[in-house]
Amino acid sequence: MNIWQKSGWSLAFSVLALGSASAQSLSLATGAPGGGFLDYGQHVAAVLKEKGLVIDVQQTSGTAENLKRVEAGQADCGLAVLGPAYEAWNGLGGWTGGVKMQNFRAVAPMYETTFHTIVPEGGTVRSFADLKGLKVAVGPKQGTGELMFAGILQATGVKADMANGAPNDHIVQLEKGEVQAFWFGAGLPVPAFRTAADRYPVRVLGFSEAERAAIIQRLPYLAPSNVPAGTYKGQQVAVEAVGIWNIVVCGKRVPSSAIQSFAKALFDGRPALEARMKAASMTLPANATKNQVIPYHPDLAEFYRSQGVNVRTE
């Protein structure tokens, strides 16, 4: 018995969803090469294709662009980090221009993004404070990495220069010394960080206790996280980091049957998704409560209640 068959409601729903999924296609805005969002989206598309749901994966710069696309109707659904999603919903942050984006709703939890930094192993940088005055790669312009890093610099008082680009390009730039550090976040292990660590020796940087406390005070949607020892080749010790949850959102205009079909296929396909991407082990109905800032699609409320999970729909 799968999770959608735990109530009489779900049985009727499953017939509707399965009957409509084969004819449905949804576009999904994801992220840039080397980042976790693009990997997740591509794996979702592969798994859901086997369930009769076609997902058109859009490569983007990340959360900010994804939310703008969904808001404007240029994508049906998108992957989003809660921090920027909160800013979008409330029209906060310079990137929103003060405009509230509320034409999207949460559909499902994805996984926790853990933000941390890598530097060349042979260098002198051994702490986050040592990044002062250095050029740090942070991912695409207005991507989640840049937005988070800017806030963290303000919280810690560290002044550093930011370099934008695709995560896979940053791997080469770090190796050549064109940047001195690479900051990013994704489900562990960060794909680009893993690639870098497999190519050349790197050191993983986290935060001191005081730095992390200051960061969370300024950015309350962040939470303590860690990068366990052995996450990357040559990493001997765990480091203290910060994390934030990611969610799947879809536009309000997307038909209810499509929303339900998508959510059903995602949760039912979670074991196959986890086999492709370890972080997807967190794509569970119970983790819907990790999102307390973006309302869920009302047509999914009954399902979540059947799983003992109460979610805000408006």
In this predicted model, what pLDDT tens digit does every residue of 159-205 receive, in sequence order? 999 999 999 999 999 999 999 999 999 889 999 999 999 999 999 99
- Where residue 34 falls among pLDDT bands split at 50, 70, 90? confident
The domain that contains 275 carries what CATH number? 3.40.190.10
Name the pairing type of β-strands 77-81 and 239-251: antiparallel
Residue 29 placed within a domain? yes
242 and 203 Cβ atoms separated by less than 8 Å: no
Q: Does pLDDT of 20 surpass 90?
A: no
Instruction: Provide the percentage of residues in the chain whose pLDDT is more than 70.
Output: 93
How does DSSP classify residue 133?
A: T
- Residue of higher predicted confidence among 24 and 258: 258
Same domain, 121 and 230: yes
Q: What is the pLDDT of residue 10?
A: 33
DSSP character for 297?
P
Whether residue 125 is found in the same domain as residue 223 = yes
Q: How many helices (H) and strands (E) does the chain have?
A: 11, 10
Choose the final residue of a domain: 219, 244, 269: 244
Residues 13 and 67 in one domain: yes
Give the gyration radius of the chain's Cα atoms: 19
Domain membership flag for residue 312: no
- Closest alpha carbon to 28 in 72, 65, 85, 66: 66
One domain, residues 152 and 132:
yes
Q: Is residue 199 part of a domain?
A: yes
Whether residue 313 is contained in a domain is answered as no
CA distances for 12 relative to 17, 47, 51, 222, angstroms: 9, 23, 18, 39
CB 82 within 8 A of CB 244: yes
Please tell me whether residues 105 and 141 are part of one structural domain.
no
Assigned domain for 148 exists: yes
Note whether 85 and 178 are same-domain residues. Answer: no
Give residue 223's pLDDT band: very low, low, confident or very high (50, 70, 90): confident
Residue 85 inside a domain? The answer is yes
146 and 121 in a common domain: yes
> Is the pLDDT score of 13 beyond 80?
no
Whether residue 290 is found in the same domain as residue 233: no
Q: How confident is the model at residue 93 (pLDDT cuts 50, 70, 90)?
A: confident
Indicate the pLDDT class of residue 132, thresholds 50, 70 and 90.
very high
Q: What is the pLDDT of residue 186?
A: 86
Position 15 scores a pLDDT of 33
Q: Quick check: is 280 in a domain?
A: yes
In tens, the pLDDT along 57-80 reads: 999 999 999 999 999 999 999 999
For 245-274, what is the mean pLDDT?
A: 95
Residue 127 scores a pLDDT above 50: yes
Q: Is the predicted pLDDT of residue 233 greater than 60, yes or no?
A: yes
Residue 238 sits in the same domain as residue 256? no
Contact 241, 225 (CB under 8 A): yes
Q: How many CB atoms lie within 10 A of CB 132?
A: 13
User: Which residue, 198, 228, 244, sits at the end of a domain?
Assistant: 244
Q: CB within 8 A of 216, min separation 6: which ones?
A: 222, 223, 224, 242
The reply to whether 59 and 69 lie within a common domain is yes
- Segment 37-59, tens digit of pLDDT: 999 999 999 999 999 999 999 99
CA angle 112, 149, 203 (to 5 degrees): 75
Domain final residue pick, 244, 279, 297: 244
Mean pLDDT, range 302-308, rounded to an integer: 91
Confidence band (pLDDT; 50, 70, 90) for 285? very high
Distance, C-alpha 274 to centroid of its chain: 15
**In a shared domain, residues 129 and 233:** yes
Q: Are residues 103 and 118 in the same domain?
A: no
Beta strands in the chain (DSSP E): 25-29, 54-58, 77-81, 104-120, 135-139, 161-164, 181-186, 202-205, 223-227, 239-251
Domain housing 262: 3-111+247-306
Note whether residue 186 is domain-resident. Answer: yes
Tally of domains in the chain: 2
